[in-house]
Amino acid sequence: MEPRRLGVLDVGSNTVHLLVVDARPGARPWPTYSYKTDLRLAELLDDAGRVKSAASERLIRTISTCLQVAEDQGVEQLLAFATSALREAKNGAELLRRVRKATGVDLVVLSGADEAKLTFLAARRWYGWSAGRLLVLDIGGGSLEIAAGEHEYPDVAISLPLGAGRVTRERLEGQDPPAPDRLHKVRKEIRQEIARAIGEVLRGGPPGRGVATSKTFRQLARITGAAPSSDGPYIPRVLHRVDLDEWLVKLSTMSGAERAALPGVSPTRAPQLLAGALVADAVLHLLDLEQVDICPWALREGVILRRLDQLADSG
């Protein structure tokens, strides 16, 4: 089968990201172009939990721009999906209809479990069967996904409302840096929420390999000494729990501006980094992981791989 140029449009809590790849069944998807806009959709909700009208218009304009970019790049098929921000918005279904009418794009809203499963698929394909039982972690803007299993798809897939953006908005807003007593309270709450899921995550046995994806984990690995993204995807990158413990103490006393000056941390993501570190630290400790490997592939690649599998099955 000849290679096909696919586009993956990811409408997330923080960004709208179009990834263009050349792909065919049985071959590694080859990224050719990336276009990203920081829309911060999860922050553009009113008090009733509805996406504001102005934000809806911005989303439609952004998707229209992505469509033009995809056309310019010769994309044959667009795979479009949305995650927690639209999944949880009170007017999410209405907004999906508006997007469809205005742009023709039919956004598929993934459940948290689907996010975890597709991210797991990407990690499994990256590391292969020799990795044994995988445990895959992903901290997004709105949710934390945890998946574990021995096969291509996990036997357990969990989504918790502990995304870095959500924790920042709902629990750390207004103090930069937060006072020690508030930080202690948030740390305790995060650990309690994750602890409730630990039994289910480990029911199939201990993992052979812990893997982390997402911008949050990549940034934490970078500030603790991992190679920069400019070195390419094949450089092994690891986040060690002992290093994260040390850096969590430092991050808790830094302002957002100070965090933005750290290597690999963008100004738009810096305000969320402390919350992401709290979640990452909690999940590594509660799952007794001394380290996690940083996987270059994540949800978008999982969506591509599933589509390629479907193409292969259809002949």
Of 168, 181, 162, give the one whose Cα is nearest residue 286.
Answer: 162
Residues 132 and 248 in one domain: yes
Amino acid identity, position 170: E
Per-residue pLDDT, averaged over 122-126, amounts to 98
226 in the same domain as 202: yes
Domain count, the chain: 2
Residue 265 C-alpha from the chain's centroid: 16
* pLDDT tops 90 at residue 221: yes
pLDDT bracket for residue 1 (50, 70, 90):
low
In a domain, 166, yes or no: yes
Q: Which CATH number fits the domain that encloses residue 276? A: 3.30.420.150
Same domain, 141 and 215: yes
Residues spanned by the domain of 50: 4-109
Indicate whether 174 pLDDT > 90. no
309 domain-assigned: no
Question: 310 in a domain, yes or no?
Answer: no
Look at residue 315 and tell me if it is in a domain.
no
CATH of the domain at 15: 3.30.420.40
Place of tokens 């969990």: 158
Task: Please tell me whether residues 139 and 265 are part of one structural domain.
Answer: yes
239-258: pLDDT as tens digits: 999 999 999 999 999 999 99
